[in-house]
Amino acid sequence: MRRKQRLFTPGPTAVPPEVLSVMASPMTHHRQAAFEAVFGRVSERLKAVFQTSSPVIIFAGSGTSALEAAIVNTLSAEDEAIFVNAGKFGQRWGAIGKAFGVRMHEITVEWGEAVAPQQVDDALKAHPNAKAVFTTLNETSTTVLTDIRSLASVTSQRDALLVVDAVSGLGADELRMDDWGVDLVVSGSQKALMLPPGLAFSAIGPRVQEAMQRSTLPKFYLSYAKALKSLADNTTPFTPVVPTVLALDKALDMVLEDGMEALWDHHRRLAEAVRAGVVGMGMKVFAQRPSNAATAIALPEGINGSALHKKLRDEYQVTCAGGQDHLKGRIERIAHMGYYDQFDMLVVLGAVELALSELGAPVRVGEGVGAAQRYFAGE
């Protein structure tokens, strides 16, 4: 019998049926008024999601294309910059910068911990010519939330731009680009925005629009200047992902229905319930400063994380995400960003505690689900 598949990965995430059905509409051409009206509307409404009055560019690409765009549009070869390596995605900033000949200085953070604002301050003192600091809102590989507000209070006193990868955090964790003084925020469609992969977003603040003028790194497809010129006419320089842009319009109806505070609050409740569930079943939460986008369970000694992951995915059809690099086998990550509600959380916790128990872990079956339910009951 074909059984129900459930997706709890930190991207791609589940897509609501009403969003999927928009994508099945007959194809339209993008160089016409009807599509331009949609494109103008989504570009304008994305500002609310990023909490900015600055323009938000949409590229056809995965999240990494927006990371690359952030580097090639703000820097020049031989420039110095700082990046926070607190996990796989922080590391990626370093790798992209180096690929373009930028002198990338690393702030190394133990995976599972969050960078301290003092470390960024110290790095900027050690490298006073650094043009930018690159960091990550939710470091998806560890599920740690970075204190962006405090980092921005350090960078906004200096010439260095603060560039935030919010590919997985946007919409799940509070981020106030303008109020906090963040210069550039990038994100992707396949996470909390409840869309398939394929759109990459870049919200570019005033200091970035100045830096663009000086940047000489090579760029063509990912040029902010080209994208901004087209955006003024509610269009894109190259063919957009038409169905996903239409889907974005629908998803934004849902995301913005009650406002960003309500959306962050929704994610906070799901995350707190899952964390209560993890502790309730007798496990530990891995992240020292956990995000509201996803939760990593620290697996006990003797439990093979790959076996857990496979059991969940292949026997229960509940797909979560394992650990990456040296965290492989040591953590299992449950996503709760996007199209999820409290009952989804009870399902995933129930599956995890059953699977752990079958693998011989010292879990108290039913206690994880119970703890989450008691959280939702307000106890």
Question: What does the binding site for ligand PLP look like in residue numbers (CB under 6 A)?
Answer: 11, 62-64, 89, 136, 140, 165, 167-168, 188, 197
In terms of CB distance, is 172 or 351 closer to ligand PLP? Answer: 172
What's the closest the beta carbon of residue 368 comes to ligand PLP, in angstroms? Answer: 25
What's the closest the beta carbon of residue 58 comes to ligand PLP, in angstroms? Answer: 14
The residue number whose beta carbon is nearest to ligand PLP equals 63
In terms of CB distance, is 136 or 295 closer to ligand PLP? Answer: 136
CB atoms inside a 10 Å sphere around CB 219: 18
In terms of CB distance, is 197 or 237 closer to ligand PLP? Answer: 197
CB distance 190 to 197 below 8 Å: yes
In terms of CB distance, is 168 or 235 closer to ligand PLP? Answer: 168
Nearest-angstrom CA–CA distance, 236 and 226: 8
What's the closest the beta carbon of residue 100 comes to ligand PLP, in angstroms? Answer: 17
Task: Give the C-alpha distances (Å, rounded to integers) separating 81 from 158, 179, 273.
Answer: 13, 24, 38
What's the closest the beta carbon of residue 339 comes to ligand PLP, in angstroms? Answer: 17
In terms of CB distance, is 235 or 244 closer to ligand PLP? Answer: 244
List strand residue ranges (DSSP E) for the chain, in order: 6-7, 56-60, 80-85, 103-108, 132-136, 138-139, 144-145, 161-165, 184-188, 199-204, 284-285, 294-298, 318-319, 321-322, 331-335
Burial group, residue 128, by CB count within 10 angstroms (0-12, 13-18, 19+)? exposed
Rounded to 5 degrees, φ, ψ at 76 are: -125, 160
Nearest-angstrom CA–CA distance, 372 and 6: 19
In terms of CB distance, is 75 or 335 closer to ligand PLP? Answer: 335
Residue type, 271: A
Bridge-based pairing state of the strands 103-108 and 80-85: parallel
CB atoms inside a 10 Å sphere around CB 76: 15
What's the closest the beta carbon of residue 190 comes to ligand PLP, in angstroms? Answer: 6
What's the closest the beta carbon of residue 181 comes to ligand PLP, in angstroms? Answer: 21
In terms of CB distance, is 89 or 316 closer to ligand PLP? Answer: 89
Task: Look up residue 146 and give its DSSP letter.
Answer: P
What's the closest the beta carbon of residue 379 comes to ligand PLP, in angstroms? Answer: 33
